[in-house]
Chains A and B, each alone.
Chain A
Amino acid sequence: MKHVAKIIPCYAADSAGACSALYELGGMTVVHDASGCNSTFATFDEPRWWDKQSMTYISALTELDAILGNDEKIIADTAAAAADQKPAFIAVCGSPMPMMIGVDFDALAFEIEQRTGIRTFPLHTNGMHSYPEGASEAMRAIAEAYVQPPDNKLANGVNILGMTPLDFGNANAVKNVRGWLENNEFTVVSCFAMGDTLDALSKAANASVNLVVSYSGLSAAQYLAEQFGIPYVCGAPIGGAFSDFLADALRNAIESGENAYPCAFRGSSGKKVTVIGEAVSAGSIAAQLGLTGFHANMICPLPHDENMRNSFDSDAFAEDEMRAVLAEMQPDFVIADPLYRFILPQGAKHLELAHIAFSGRCYDKILPDLTDARFDAWLEQIAK
């Protein structure tokens, strides 16, 4: 069956993606769900929970309020919390129960905004989809609400779109991606959504190109392309060869104004490697391997854009389906989260690459930063 797993975990849900994307922006994110259900996000999905406080709360929905359709409770509670904490914005997002009872999040957001005078936007998560969908909607909502027309266009300006700890769990990842861009003579205008303020994000239109480092950033990139004519390039700077390739793609996009998907590049000879994970980052790993003499492809069990993958890649997402695809691919190596070990084919060497969106905190002490040539060093060490 499509939605059955005997042993492997599931990915973080859409609501977690939304909370993660908004975590550092000074807003208040309210998930409409039962008391205690925020523990999953706070425990497993959000490595910043201890060190960096964020107004991420749960509405503590009860049976009675659900049955009676008591939307006033979340509206009043959110308004009261906002009065105490004065967030820059409010986001209200859904979970399974509100979906069941048909909560109108657009109306909730409108009511809360009327009552508080604070910009409020709805996020249409329902806890039944994976995190990139929630993160994607949240990043686009921020772009739509806050990005101003350009006032100081930078010819080499770049926005980083789609960065959350769910995909970039190493604490140095943001700094190193920024550093890589600067080393390639780009100027980072903003990063959606780690390490930057809402004010920095509002200036995103000053960039000349957008670097989409995960699918979570694509929708915001599409908005910025439609609204301000900024092209986007999909890829994460992973591995020396691919990072150079990606830097060239950014320069070309600035010049041509065309979008590009270098993360979909694949090689066709050499040892077979399968990479399992998020479309842009796993795709970028496969592309790096393709550029360095491997026949690599990707299994992406998460939402993605067709342009982000090659025809040799797979979108299998059920446990059985993934087992079958892996058996068919017969890879020599599989680069995947350690908890995929249960379904790998015999004979394939597992190169373990922890992914917070899959295994949560289980391997948070060994989350590598793969930016630029660091991937090559990691691969050399782990493949020994």
Chain B
Amino acid sequence: MQQNLKNPPKKRIADADAACLFPTGLEYNPPARGMWNIVQMGMLIPDAHQIYGCAQGCLRGVVLTAAEMNALERLSWISLTEEDMFNGTLEQSLVDGVSEIVDQLDRRPPVVLLFLSCMHLFAGCDFDAVISDLSAAYPDICFVDCYMTPTMRDSVPPVVQTCRQMYVPLKPLPKNPKAAAIIGNDRPTDEDAELLRILRGAGYRVHDLTRCKSYDEYLQIAESSLNITYLPTAFSAGELLTERFGTPCLHLPNSFDYDEIAENYRRLCEAIGADCPDFSAEISAADQALERLHETVGDTKIAIDYTVVTQPFSLAKLLCQHGMNVKYIIADTVGEDAAAFKWLQQYSPDIEIYAPANVNMLHQPEQAAEPVLAIGQKAAYYFASDHFVNLILNGGFYGFAGICRIAELTEDAFRTEKDRRTVLRHKGFGCASCLL
């Protein structure tokens, strides 16, 4: 059957090309809703108000994301009509619409994130003029140009762009030589992570948008003398702050490779002028956690997806190196873990890679009869497994401590069933939800 398909949804990793795992085609959307979107990201800025100017079909998703978060009062919208696109009032309609909304808000927000759509960009909307007019009319508000432009995902991916724009309201502050910031993550970094221990041990105050309780606290991020990113989507935000404030930014990818983790910490210590600690104990703890996990799960087939961690191939390699039976990886691109991908091609060539949005994945859950331990929501859905790790983009876990924690969560998933449907329908892992 597989050979006869025009769009085969899977292939052996040994037969895959890292530059293009699968050709593009029509796409299916599996019902696993944990990944964040731009609405949830925007909500991280305390007291910010979001306004979306776009067509009704595009509005619907963002408005109901806010509704499910019980945060409708923080989002407003202006719907585009056909006439708006052609009658020369595109910019003025936006200025008028935003003004009307701002005037009606119960409280003046310090920041308005104004999202325009693909249509505005194609119509040549002068966004600078819109922001300029609004800023002149409301000097107490910082208006930020934001982009809900999924059509432009190859050139301006919306999540990357939103992540970057979320730091635009920051204003220059005197540098604090003992302050650092973790930039662009969507949840707090685990307190046990060596990353935080190193920074705090060196006397650093660590800023993190996800921990900011007030707008003033958010503005303090600008005092940082060092910025750190570890999610791939945050890289551009780090660059922005370097351009604006001259703050150096270290990108320390969230790898599962011991050497890469150690190298990340070496670079961090060098940047802050601290001695690099010895990580023998942490490595030993990670090894032990993986050994326990192996003893527990034995030869159970394991599926990993691209939403659970930023480096699924790196995680797969780590588990394989510790004797576990990684059988399936759901991913359509190879990112920062290209070296791990190559390693898997050589040493675990029979791992099957599945294309997450392939149309022929529509009935995949019905075919999954064998028990699978799933790491990630999409893996849980596609392999119909109630034994799954419910995590998105590393869940804030980092470094050797992160490996321990993910191993523990995997062990727990093996032992304990979850209510798959209830968990997977929750939009935005970790967000408030009216569905609960």
Contact = CB atoms under 8 A, between A and B. Distances in A.
Given A57-B27, A77-B25, A45 B100 contact: no
Nearest to A364: B435
B101 A6 contact: yes
A85 B9 CA distance: 13
Interface stretch (B72-80, B168-176, B258-266, B271-279): B72-80
Contacts, number: 202
B154 A64 contact: yes
Interface in A42-95: 42-45, 49-50, 53, 55, 57-64, 66, 77-78, 80-81, 83-85, 95
B200 interface: no
A55 B154 contact: no
Given A16-B57, A44-B64, A35 B80 contact: no
Most buried by A among B26, B56, B101, B105: B26
Interface in B406-436: 421, 425, 427, 434-435
B76 A7 contact: yes
A7 B72 contact: yes
Interface string B68-97: 100011001111111001000000010011
Given A14-B57, A42-B31, A84-B6, A359 B427 contact: no
Given A128-B56, A362-B435, A81 B26 contact: yes
A3 interface: yes
B77 A5 contact: yes
B118 to A, nearest CB: 5
A233 B189 CA distance: 61
Contacts of B24: 60, 77
Q: Interface range on chain B: under 10, 10 to 19, 20 to 34, or 35 or more?
A: 35 or more
A100 B119 contact: yes
Contact of B25 (A43, A80, A128): A80
A37 B153 CA distance: 12
B159 to A, nearest CB: 10
A127 interface: yes
A15 B61 CA distance: 13
Interface of A: 1, 3-16, 30, 33-40, 42-45, 49-50, 53, 55, 57-64, 66, 77-78, 80-81, 83-85, 95-97, 99-101, 126-130, 339, 342, 359-362, 364
Given A14-B57, A30-B26, A97-B119, 19 more contacts: A1-B100, A6-B104, A7-B73, A9-B60, A34-B118, A34-B151, A44-B60, A49-B31, A57-B359, A59-B26, A62-B154, A80-B7, A81-B7, A81-B25, A84-B7, A85-B360, A100-B122, A128-B55, A361-B64
